[in-house]
Amino acid sequence: MILSRLKRNVSIIMLIVLTGSSVFTGTGIVSASESRPAKGSVKFGADNNPLAGAADKMGSFKTLFGDIAEKVIPTVVSVIPTKVDTIVFQNNPFYNFFGDEQFGDPFEFFFGQPRRQPQQRPQIQKKERRQQGLGSGVIVSKDGYILTNYHVVSGADEIEVKLHDGRILKAETVGSDSLTDVAVIKIVDKVDKLPVAYLGDSDKMRPGDWVIAVGNPFSLTSTVTTGIVSALGRNVSGNEAYQNFIQTDAAINPGNSGGALVNIDGELIGINTMIYSRSGGYMGIGFAIPVNMAKKVMEDIIYTGKVVRGWIGVTIQDIDQNVRAALDLGDIKGVLIADVIKGQSADKAGIKRGDIIMTIDGKAVDNTNDLRNRVAALSPDKKVPVTVFRGGKTITLQLVVGKRDQKMIDQLSKSGSSDIEDDATTSKKLGFGAANLTQELRQQYNIPKDMKGVIITSVESGDVPLLEGDVISQMKIKQNDFIHLENVSQLENASKSIKVGESVVFLVHRGGNTFYTAYKIRK
């Protein structure tokens, strides 16, 4: 009975498959009863483009980015650095532990009986391990010079570049500068018809200007992204390097390093170098080295074999609100000179401690990073005008730029500045305790013998930006000139006239550094 019922169900299923209303195909279900429209009888899409008029109003802007990409992409290459390591190994890694020469036959050691054949010393073999990276570069001359990043080619034993037309050529490092993350490489293979980037003027860029980034993110060659200049003069990792980055929101990702950042005219205005990211990918913040800085480094490397930087011999600091109020600067912008090194360029030009440098070589400086980069870009022995604000007046001095010598700078930073009678004071008004410099205090706080001033022995208020062991050598109250301090009596006399709410400025010596600091007097 079960068998006959099963046969009847199978017959019904077969009947449905053969005569049913549905036919199964490989791509879907189509009703057999529906008739299909004739080919071409269905019209797809609207009759008119509702935005056609708006597109016409854009004029040449419609094709602008495509036109720029068409010209710029061929000038950007893939830089393929290869690091080659040599590995030395033996086919029998246990020989050194159980070899006949050191421990005898392992079979005899473990099993008490020798092998039939003695163990042979394994052959030593060498094998190369090749590690490849990928970055970008920009062709800047028909001779085959290419601008890229120091971190792209650093440590590379071999370098290849892949052109936009598919050619793969050998290159070598001409030179590099880790302080700016700039490197110059050159194609060594014979090559002709190289596309060359047009170098623009990065000093003319403004926040909000359109920019286009071209590079090879994640090995995706000839990638183009657009955005704007988000900010200028960025310093993202402190003062140990020369940084003046262009910040952009054009998408930059790993592999873009060394690629081109161009303006709306297709001019190279930056070399893409890094991103800010919490995940390792694009987050809307990318940085590029201004082409003016990269060009100067490149020319030094090509023509002299090393990067030569200007130096004027000053210690500098930014101007905060307290210092601005205490010095009565108003809207004056610039950089405060905290110290001048005797016998160096600034000293010879007449620049003094407490001056505000406003411009150098005709270019404004708004902060320490600005001045540092402006000076570094100047050629040694060049005579330049320097505008300073001093005593309520603006004066112009002529300065001959010196040459940055790291050894000399290190030696000068170790020199300091003197023995004065023993005395001490604690000022509730100023918020700290101080003492005259004695031999014992000099030894305790490692103060140089020739340094003059008053040493901070305690800090009574959290509002005071001083530390125990600081030496203060000058003091200024609003509307008054700086007072040189050599003992606590001078400090006490100077502080008598200070009123609550006024700002006071001190010249501080701390750990080999000299700087100004200011704060308001509290109740």
**In whole angstroms, how far apart are CA 163 and each of 86, 230, 346, 347, 431?**
29, 30, 48, 51, 66
- Which residue among the candidates 78, 176, 177, 181 is catalytic per the annotation? 181
Place of tokens 């004695």: 438
**In whole angstroms, how far apart are CA 106 and each of 111, 114, 117?**
8, 8, 12
Place of tokens 């401690």: 353
Structure tokens at 50: 């509702």
DSSP tag of 377: H
Residue 478 CA to its chain's centroid (Å)? 39
Report the C-alpha gap between 504 and 515 in whole angstroms. Answer: 14
**Whether 181 is catalytic:** yes
Strand partners, 246: 288
**Whether 427 is catalytic:** no
Q: Which helix or strand (DSSP H or E) is residue 96 part of? A: helix 95-98
Report the C-alpha gap between 262 and 226 in whole angstroms. Answer: 10
Rounded to 5°, angle at Cα 271 from 267 and 273:
155
Output phi, psi for 304, to 5 deg: -120, -15
DSSP tag of 469: T
- Which residue among the candidates 78, 202, 257, 503 is catalytic per the annotation? 257
**Whether 151 is catalytic:** yes
Report the C-alpha gap between 199 and 260 in whole angstroms. Answer: 10
Structure tokens at 36: 């299909």
DSSP three-state, residue 330: coil
Q: Which amino acid is at 429?
A: K
Report the C-alpha gap between 471 and 455 in whole angstroms. Answer: 4
Residues in the chain: 523
DSSP tag of 221: T
Place of tokens 């980037």: 197
Q: Which helix or strand (DSSP H or E) is residue 324 part of? A: helix 321-326
- Which residue among the candidates 151, 154, 277, 347 is catalytic per the annotation? 151
Place of tokens 């286009």: 212
Q: Which residue numbers are catalytic?
A: 151, 181, 257
